Amino acid sequence: MPARTDRLVRAAVSAYCALPRPSRRETQQLEDLVLPLFDSVGAESRRYVAAVLSELPNPPATLVRRLSEQPVDVAAPLLIRSPALTDIDLLAIISRHGLPHARAIARRKDLNPAIANLIRVLDRPALPKEAPTQPPAPADENVHHEEQSPAMAPPELPQTPADRPARTRAEAVRDRLRAMMLPAGDPAPRSAVPAEERTQRSSAYGRLRATALTGNPAFFQTALADALGIGFRQAKAIATASTYADLAMALRALDIDTEGALLIVLAVYPSLFAHAESVRLFVERYELCHREKARDRLRGWRAETLADAMADAPTIKSGANANRQGSAGRLRAS
């Protein structure tokens, strides 16, 4: 059975890589097939998948992130080359896996200078503590200092950041990085989010929940358009689609937690949650959805809103010109 699973995964990935321009649906189909089988796939097949996906300009991001969490002998091609890994992804990988993964990431072209500096700090070897150099003292003074009690020894001067051992600085950097990072899919810690942004998120969620529970679609669609900064047409399309996929993506872009998103989607799509399995499936999909992917989708909706506004402008102008021409014609006729 494991050999059959390996062959299936290799064949699916090879077929995907052969596509000239994989669609979003084809990417989702590949991830839906491979991710449930991931734990059953052998290390050699994982190395193969990582190697072939590292050559793609737009690989399936969720699968790439899953492979990047593997030991460095599997993940190295993706860590070195894959464009699907953002700076946030790279920092999270370094915080979880340390130097082996960091050294592979350091080989990326056009690596963010801040990440490159961080890796240099982490990779710097510990410096041995050097004894303070003092000029030789006369023989009688040496005897005096040897007999001097520890309590009478002169106090040590505080060390400056440049004087601290490299290992201490590296540990401090790692501690700060780990404090900033959580496992993939978890929301940012409250302390890492500005208070103003937390207030805005809470306000958006409160309004979306309240309008969804009213049962009035127009109220909810208006609240959704305001929260996302998009047009009403786009918000209506999101909230009235045949599935909740777009609405879940919109809620993920707003960084609403899983329980809050489930409540809103249940209120808008009650017929799609007839049994507990549908709830489990929603939770699994929502937590696998990466926030950056959701924000990319949000940028697309905002671009559509802008395109609608630009398309409306010539219509208004043409109508005004037609009115002026009609008025001129009536005056000439009179």
In this predicted model, what pLDDT tens digit does every residue of 259-297 receive, in sequence order? 999 999 999 998 988 888 888 889 999 988 888 888 888
Classify burial at 145, counting beta carbons within 10 Å of its beta carbon; exposed 0-12, middle 13-18, buried 19 or more. Answer: exposed
Q: What is the CA radius of gyration of the chain?
A: 30
Residue at token pair 């810690």: 189
Classify burial at 320, counting beta carbons within 10 Å of its beta carbon; exposed 0-12, middle 13-18, buried 19 or more. Answer: exposed
Q: What is the pTM of this model?
A: 0.43
- Domain boundaries along the sequence of the chain: 2-123, 194-295
Average pLDDT of the segment spanning 34-52: 91
**Residues, the chain:** 334
Nearest to 289 by CA among 260, 239, 255: 255
Better-scored residue on pLDDT, 137 or 17: 17
The tokens describing 138, both together, are 């006369």
The tokens describing 254, both together, are 């707003």
pLDDT at 227: 92
Residues 65-103 pLDDT 10s: 999 999 999 999 999 999 999 887 888 888 788 888 999
Residue 86 has φ and ψ, to the nearest 5°, of: -80, 170
Average pLDDT of the segment spanning 44-50: 93
Percentage of the chain surpassing pLDDT 90? 35
Long-range contacts formed by 108-116: CB under 8 A, 24+ apart: 108/79, 108/80, 108/81, 112/87, 115/87, 115/90, 115/91
